[in-house]
Each structure stands twice: as C-alpha cells, then as structure tokens.
Structure 1
C-alpha cells in the first residue's frame, strides 16, 4: 500500500511538470540520456 501511495503521489506530481517541460524538449532529452547512462553504470 505504501509504495502504491508513493507512486500515486509521484504520478500526480508529474503532469504539471510535464506541461512545463513539454515546450523545452531540448532540456528533457539530456535528462533522459543522463538517466540512461547512470542506469547503465549501475547495472555494469
């Protein structure tokens, strides 16, 4: 239940941010790239 509540809260917080980030896709792509790089390093 706790995780579901935390995820629900995160999902609720995302839409407003997404609306602000949507026009600046150039800023969003580097973030996704950095996240993927950190994930690869963590897996390796």
Structure 2
C-alpha cells in the first residue's frame, strides 16, 4: 500500500511538471484525431 502511494505522488508531481506540455500535445492530437486523445485521457486517468 505504501509503495502505491509513493507511485501516486511521483506521477502527480510528474503531471504538474509536464502539465502545459501535455495540454499542447492533447490540443495537437485533437486537431487530427479524437481517438488518440481519448486514449491519452484514459492514460492520464489511469495515473491519477
């Protein structure tokens, strides 16, 4: 359980670091295909 919390902390700090970059990527992907964007969103939800 402790390890799981550690992983969550790691991914959330990583998310903060790449927040603006991820947003840019999602917008770019959204322009030419919605499917990968949903996949990215699913991955983000998976990490959350």
TM-score by length of 1: 0.50
- Mark the runs of 5 or more structure 2 residues left unpaired by the alignment: 43-48
Tell me the equivalent position of 2:21: 20
Q: Which has the larger radius of gyration?
A: 1
Unaligned runs of 5+ in 1: 37-44
Instruction: Give the root-mean-square deviation of aligned CA atoms.
Output: 2.6
Of structures 1 and 2, the one scoring higher in RCO (CA 8 A, sep 6+) is 2
TM-superposed CA distance for 1:26, in Å, is: 2.6
Aligned residue pairs, count: 36
Shift of 1:5: 0.4
Aligned equivalent of 1:4? 5
